[in-house]
Structure 1
Amino acid sequence: MEPQKHAIPLIGRDGPQWIPIEDIFFFSCNSRMVVHTTQGLFSPPVTLNDFHTLLQEHRFDKLDKSNLVNLSNVVDYNERVYHALFSNGESCYVSRRNRTKMDFLK
């Protein structure tokens, strides 16, 4: 497993992989952490705050207490249901206090 610049190591079905940061859509954490990427889903044994600290400088931001979003991969925002939308068809909730973070899409 060779490290790549601007990539993080995640363990998937095929073992450890270096996932480029631009391939990450968002992190969600309800009962367990899930990383949503162009290569599928991963469940790392770390916290959302660990990733937030690591990825802040790469346009990742919390839009709710249970998610961390790569703002570079948000393609639309549904103001009616308060969801950030991604090119893979997935979406995540944007809390009331964080809705102004979606203004860059206007």
Structure 2
Amino acid sequence: YELGKLGYIETIRGRNGGIRLARKPEEIRIGTVVRNTEENLSLVECFAGHGNHCVLTPVCQLKRVLHEALESFLQVLDSYTLADLLNNKHHLQMIFRKEKQ
């Protein structure tokens, strides 16, 4: 449902209905999908804008390291599109056919 609201997929009603991509795979960046669909990317409590009760926050060095790691993670995901993940389309189709049997 969320992917449809975000414009990544569209639903087709009727007997042969289902879902399909609403955009070209080359236009769908993995990092953007993760940012748009994950409710909370806060790795630790102090990343949250509110509700932080950690007494170490004012002097903590770990939060900087974790923030840098999260940014690096998202930057790597940003470098890939859905098309990059579908370069083995034939193998994926074979697996899905086996699952239906």
Same fold (TM over 0.5): no
Q: Name whichever structure is richer in strand by fraction.
A: 1
TM-score by length of 2: 0.25
Determine which structure has more spread, i.e. the larger CA radius of gyration: 2
Q: Name whichever structure is richer in helix by fraction.
A: 2
TM-score by length of 1: 0.24
